[in-house]
Amino acid sequence: GLFGGAGVGKTVNMMELIRNIAIEHSGYSVFAGVGERTREGNDFYHEMMESNVLDKVSLVYGQMNEPPGNRLRVALTGLTMAEKFRDEGRDVLFFVDNIYRYTLAGTEVSALLGRMPSAVGYQPTLAEEMGVLQERITSTKTGSITSVQAVYVPADDLTDPSPATTFAHL
């Protein structure tokens, strides 16, 4: 995981990893942009295009302005894509930017469903939802999935339930 506050370069590091793996090792990547701003997604796309690696990466977005259900499902959609490539015999890098926004989307969905929030206002199903995503990131006899995830740490508090739950899986 790439842990840090806002603006420290987590996404830039992901772009460089995708580019280097594609160019230097002919590797394939899947990028799930969870809760991205439209501008960020557009910039990321153009960066991949300028690096000539669009044929080595799949991009899937659930943008910030979309309903929380879309944002919650986009990481799982990206993972399903990575699983498909893995099952075809590829070794895949699966990127999630940002896993914190995945948690926030889950919090919003939970509130819409009328669930009582738990610690610090997060959904009571935080650990389960994180586990459903993280436990699917596995290797098989024919291929593998390796995940790199940007993890926003709110107020640089590593004990916040969102990054703390993520730590348990990385």
User: Mind telling me the catalytic residues?
Assistant: 10, 36-37
Whether the Cβ atoms of residue 164 and residue 158 lie closer than 8 Å to each other: yes
Q: What contacts 63, CB < 8 A, 6 or more positions away?
A: 33, 35, 36, 37, 38, 41, 70, 71
* DSSP state at residue 155: G
Indicate the angle between helix axes 126-134 and 99-112, nearest 10 degrees.
Answer: 130
